[in-house]
Amino acid sequence: MRIRLVTNNPHKLAEVSQILAPYGIEVERLGAEKVEVQHDDVAEIAKKAAENLCVRYGDYVVVEDTGLYIEALGGFPGPYAEYVYRTIGLSGVLKLLEGVANRRAVFRCAAALCLGGRVEVFLGEVRGTIAQVPRGIGGFGYDPIFVPEGLGRTYAELGDDVKNKISHRAQAFSKLATWLTTTASKRA
- Judged by the rule CB under 8 A, the positions of this chain that interact with a second copy are 33-38, 48, 52, 73-78, 80, 83-84, 86-89, 92, 95-96, 98
- Please indicate if the annotation marks 7 as binding a ligand: yes
CB of 161 to a second copy, least distance (A): 30
* Cβ neighbours for 62, distance < 8 A, ≥ 6 positions apart: 3, 4, 5, 6, 50, 111, 112, 113, 114, 176
CB of 34 to a second copy, least distance (A): 7
Q: Which is nearer to a second copy, 26 or 83 (CB)?
A: 83
- Please indicate if the annotation marks 181 as binding a ligand: no
Q: Which is nearer to a second copy, 68 or 170 (CB)?
A: 68
C-beta separation of 69 from 78 below 8 A: yes
Among the listed residues 40, 41, 59, 65, the single catalytic one is 65
- Please indicate if the annotation marks 142 as binding a ligand: yes
- Please indicate if the annotation marks 163 as binding a ligand: yes
160 given a catalytic annotation:
no
First and final C-alpha spacing in the chain: 13
C-beta separation of 136 from 156 below 8 A: yes
C-beta separation of 146 from 105 below 8 A: yes
72, β-bridge pairs: none
CB of 162 to a second copy, least distance (A): 30
Q: Which is nearer to a second copy, 79 or 136 (CB)?
A: 79
- Please indicate if the annotation marks 10 as binding a ligand: yes
Measured over the CA atoms of residue 19, residue 139, residue 143 and residue 137, the dihedral's sign is positive
Alpha-carbon distance 50 to 58, whole Å? 10
Q: Which residues are annotated as a binding site for substrate?
A: 7-12, 66, 140-143, 163, 168-169
Q: Which residues are annotated as a binding site for Mg(2+)?
A: 36, 65
Q: Which residues are annotated as a binding site?
A: 7-12, 36, 65-66, 140-143, 163, 168-169
User: Where in the sequence numbering do the catalytic residues fall?
Assistant: 65
